[in-house]
Structures are given as C-alpha cells and as structure tokens.
Amino acid sequence: MEFTRPRGTRDFFPEEMEKRRWVEARIRDTFKNFGYGEILTPTFEHINLITAKSGEDIVEHLYSFEDRGKRELALRPELTAPVMRAYVNELQSQAKPVKLYYIANCFRYERPQSGRYREFWQAGIELIGSSRAEAEAEVIALAYRVIKNLNLKDFTMHIGNIGLLRKFLKNLGITEQSNFLALIDKEEHEELEKQLESYGVKAEDRKLFFKIISLKGNKRKTVARVREFFNDKEILEEMDRFEETLNYIDNLGVEYSVNFGIARGLDYYTGMVFEIYARKLGAEKQVCGGGSYSLAETFGGKATPTCGFAIGFDRLILALNKDGIKAGNDNGHGVYVIPVSKEFIAYAIKISSDIREYRVCEMELKRRKLGKALSYASKKGFEYAVIVGEETKDNKIILKNLISKEQEEIDVFKMKTSLTTEHR
C-alpha cells in the first residue's frame, strides 16, 4: 500500500520553507507599516457563512462535511467572510477604521494545476469602516507596495468598478446579478449575450454592455468614455467617486490601468475592484484580487463600508521563483562547531549553545573526522567553522573562515566579537 499526499496539496521542505517564511516576513512588515494588526480565524466555519454571499464559484468548490454533532461545516475557501464574521461578533464597537491582516491557508476543491491548488495560502487585509476614496486608495497602494517591495518584475495592476456594472445591470432590469458578474469574470461572452437576450435586453443595450466591459486603458480616456455613454445620475456619481480614488493613487506613484471588465469571482463586491497579474504565470496569472464590498450586514452586523484584498501567496512565490529571487539564508552566515574527538564533545555543545545566542550555529553530530566535517560544512555553505580541540585547555578555539580558508587560534572569550563584528 502506498501513502501519498492528497491531490492538490504539497509538502514544503526546509529550503522552500526558508523562502516562504522570508517572503512572509516581508509581507508582514509592509502590512504592519500601514497599521494593520494580525487576525487568525478558525480553519473551518459553519457552511452558511460561506454560502451566504461568496457566490456560486466558491460554493461549488467547497470542502464541506458534517461533524459528529451533525453540524454542517466547511474548510475556509478564503478569509474575507470569516474575518467579517469575527468583526461582527467581537469588534463592532471598536473605533473605525479597524485594520486587520492575515496570512493563512485556504481550501478549494479545484482542478489542480500549476498555480492552482486545493490547499493554498492567502496574505490579505481588510480595512473596515471607511468608504472614503482615500481609504480605497490606501488599500490599492498597499497591495502594490507589497509586490513592489518583493521586487517582482513584470506585474500589472488593473482597476475596475463593479458599482458601474451593477448599476448598469439594474437599469436594464436585472437585479439578480451574480450569474452575470460570474460570466463577465470568466469572459464567457457568448453565454452572457444569450442571458442578456433572455432577460429581454435590447440589442443596442447589449452592444453598449459589451462596450463597457471591454473598456480598458488610462483613467482619463476610460472614465470619459463612460461619461459619454450615460447620463444616469447614479452612474455619473459612481464615476466621480472612482475618479477621486484614482487621483489619490496617481499621487502615490502606483502604476495601473483601468479595466471595466473586472467583475471578480466573488459576490460581495460593490464598487472599486482590482486585480494584479504576473504575466509569466500564464493561465493562473492572478496573484492578487480585492475591492470594496459589503458583508457585515449579511452576518447580522451594522452595514459597514469595507475594502480589502488577498494575495495568492503560492502564486507570488512561483512568480518570484521565475525571476530567480534568492530568498532566505542557506546557512550562509552560519557557524559549524566541530569537536576533534569525543573528549571535546561536551565543550563543543556548550560553545554551540553560546553561539546560538547571536548566530545560526550547528554542531557536528555524526562524529566525522575533522577533514570530513570541514568539507561537509563548506558544502552546506557555512561561513565559519569553530574547531574545538586541545587548545580549549588554554581557553582557546580555532576559528576557520570557510570562504577565505584562513584560520586563527583565538581566545574563547573573544569568539563572540570575532563572529559578530570583525569578520562580517
């Protein structure tokens, strides 16, 4: 019998984990610099939390189960709904805005391929309690900053407005909009045309609808086109608001293009939406998605304007790998302690423990001869070897620089100074 990983999951070994933790630390720092605090919600939730407003695409791909108490539960497919549930449960009385971030695993029963897994990680934020354009601009700028700070090359940001699409659909008499937004998101234009027709939408309105969702380009041109097409007050106000957000982003040096075809795969968005693509990832190029949405009232809370995004952590790593980033430390700055014989093991253990107070340190654990232990340490990329032998009787050790191959006998009490300043 063979024991294998479940389909769509991965094992991460030390080298990969080093890189993931390194990227994670950088993302965390950027989130914190913008004033976000970390939240972690349960891995599974009551299924109705997820089915309430996430949309068909998410619900179709749920990992759901019944527990022994006959409760219907689901592994979280994303964190926006859980975070908003937790906010409604515990944080509603806090001063606004409430700024929360998460880096956590999610589960979707999707067809696995490169960049698409059944267990994957999201790094995201939710800014709860401000509907202002500057709040939206800050959220977009944060997503952009995270990716920029990691030096990802060749990524593009696309900003759209679901508010415009919703208002247009409403004017066409379509109030049940999920299906339409899902078809726009998946770019299934033939089916979309059929559906619009079946709702009795006139040919000229259908044409305009396709014109709008195909509008892409710079702010000035795209927004001006929408203004030419409509004289509906609500739509024009939506455009004013959209433009205000974009003006603030321009001040922040964020590069983007407007794309009114962005409809997102989830049902809760209400206004500005955005996605970031890493072209080099091919079909699964979307490394980040987010926008303004409304969920608190769905979970029994007070209606609260909210804006957020989630970065697909695994896709980001894949894209960074393609750029050949070197992340993490591969013992490159470490120290390898070698006792030359059994008699010096206890002392080597003590020395290793001291060095670990200030540097990465490993000790020879296989009792290899000095020469073999040194070549192992060099191969593994250690910077120094500390050789523990007869000299320790005079409180000295041999410190060997494994890169320059120079070595010297030094006083044990001066070891820390040598390993932390002189040689670095």
Catalog residues that contact ligand HAM under the rule CB under 6 A: 78, 80, 108, 110, 116-117, 120, 122, 124, 126, 265-266, 286-290, 293, 308-310, 312, 314-315
Find where tokens 């790998």 sit.
321
CB of 293 to ligand HAM, least distance (A): 6
CB of 112 to ligand HAM, least distance (A): 8
- Closest contact distance (angstroms) between CB of 118 and ligand HAM is 7
Strand order in the sheet with 384-388: 361-363, 335-339, 384-388, 396-401, 407-411
Q: Do residues 110 and 219 touch, judged by C-beta distance below 8 A?
A: no
Amino acid 261 reads G
Are the C-beta atoms of residues 252 and 157 closer than 8 Å to each other?
Answer: no
Strands, E assignment, 182-268: 216-217, 257-259
The minimum distance between CB 209 and ligand HAM, in angstroms, equals 23
Give least dist CB 4 to ligand HAM, A. Answer: 19
Helix ranges (H only) for 61-124 are 80-86
Min separation Cβ 323 and ligand HAM, Å: 17
Pairing of strands 396-401, 407-411: antiparallel
How far is the C-alpha of 119 from the C-alpha of 315, rounded, in Å? Answer: 12
Please report how close the Cβ of residue 80 comes to ligand HAM at its closest, in angstroms. Answer: 4
CB 308 within 8 A of CB 80: yes
Phi-psi region of 405 (alpha: psi -120 to 50; beta: other; left: phi over 0): left
Cα 212 to Cα 297: distance, rounded to the nearest angstrom:
30
Q: Are the beta carbons of 82 and 74 closer than 8 angstroms?
A: no
For residues 26 and 380, give the distance between their C-alpha atoms in angstroms, rounded to a whole number.
25
Read off the tokens for 338. Answer: 């070698």
Nearer to ligand HAM, 155 or 248 (CB): 155
